[in-house]
Each structure stands twice: as C-alpha cells, then as structure tokens.
Amino acid sequence: MYAIVDIAGQQFKVQKNQQIFVHRLEGKEGDSINFDKVLLLDNDGKVDVGLPTVKGASISAKIVEHLKADKVMVFKKKRRKGYAKMNGHRQYLTKIEIQDIKS
C-alpha cells in the first residue's frame, strides 16, 4: 500500500514505516502530525485517484528530527568584467516517519 501525498507544497510517494525528508514543519521531535492532502491511494492494486484529493484519506506521521541539508554552493561570474560572487545555502529539513495510511 502506498499513497501520493502533498506535504508542504511538494508531492511524495509514501509507504508505511518509510522515513522521508521534507521542508521544515512546525512541531517538536516526537510529535505526531497528520496530512489530509492525499492525491492518490493504492491498496494492493485498487487505485483511488482524488479530484483533487481522496475523501476520507489521511496519513499520520511522526517527526523524527529537525536538521539542515548539505550546503549548496552558488557561484556567479561574468567573464572579463571582474565580477565573481560566491554564496552558500543550507535548507532546513524535517525527517518524518510514516506511521499509518488511512483510507
């Protein structure tokens, strides 16, 4: 059984006991959260497609930890102009574990 769910503006394919990284969510480590924007639900070959969401379906998850992603280096340069600029960015992430998929 798997589901396609919208979490913080991104779509993820999730299964039970799966751990995924999503954009930073509100809540403390160990808190339980629910997601109601289930776009597709597959129960052993029986597929329910939402218009736009599947009615009555929800995903329950637990926040495992809050962390920061690896640094992404952004380098800008214009040749022959003497312009070069280096910048870095680290995205704030939340690691969640899918507890249950309810249809």
CA distance 13 to 5: 7
Query: Considering the chain, what is the average pLDDT of its residues?
Result: 95
HEC readout, 34-85: EECCEEEEEECCEEEECCCCCCCCEEEEEEEEEEECCCEEEEEEECCCCEEE
Whether the predicted model's global pTM rises above the 0.85 cut? no
Percent share of the chain, pLDDT over 70: 100
What pLDDT does 103 receive?
83
pLDDT digits (tens, 9 = 90+) for 40-72: 999 988 999 989 999 999 999 999 999 999 999
